[in-house]
Copies of this chain bind each other. A is one copy, B any other.
Amino acid sequence: MFQETLREIVDKVEGGVAGLIMDSEGIAVDSYAREGAPFDITTIGIEFGVVLGSIKRAAESLEAGTAQEVAINTDKMITVIRPLGDTYFLAVALRPDGNLGKGRFLMRTAAPKLIAELG
């Protein structure tokens, strides 16, 4: 069920590499990677999941409201992370030249359905 949604996001985005749903303790719920993906999406999720936790705390301390999305660009990849409620998050990794705008859009539109299914 999640697999299918993850595949739809990753395969529809130019430069999409992999997608993951993980809980805040670093346990993967489901993941999908295109063939030949140069990264392990679970490792990425664990590392950036910790970062997401610190972003949530910073946003709280700034009274900036709930964190909706984080996009991290490095030399070798783009990672977009979107909290799904309080417990889970969706992470999608793209190549550095991937279509970040489309990735963000597809993640935003998929989120309500994923949250309902995870609830």
Interface residues of A (CB under 8 A from B): 39, 43-44, 47-48, 50-51, 54-55, 58-59, 61-77, 101
Which residues of B lie under 8 Å from residue A64 when comparing CB positions? Answer: 39, 44, 74-77
Asked whether B47 lies within 8 Å of A58 as measured between CB atoms, the reply is yes
Q: Known interface pairs A51-B51, A62-B39. Does A71 touch B74 (Cβ–Cβ under 8 Å)?
A: no
Inter-subunit contact B62/A73 (CB<8 Å): no
Known: A54-B54, A58-B47, A58-B48. A65 touches B76 (CB 8 A): yes
Contact assessment for A69 and B62 in the assembled complex, using a CB-CB cutoff below 8 Å: no
* Shortest distance between the CB of A64 and any CB in chain B (Å): 4
Find out whether the CB atom of A68 lies under 8 angstroms from the CB atom of B74: yes
Who on chain B is nearest to A68 by CB?
B73
Bound together, the chains give a CA A51 to CA B71 distance in angstroms of: 13
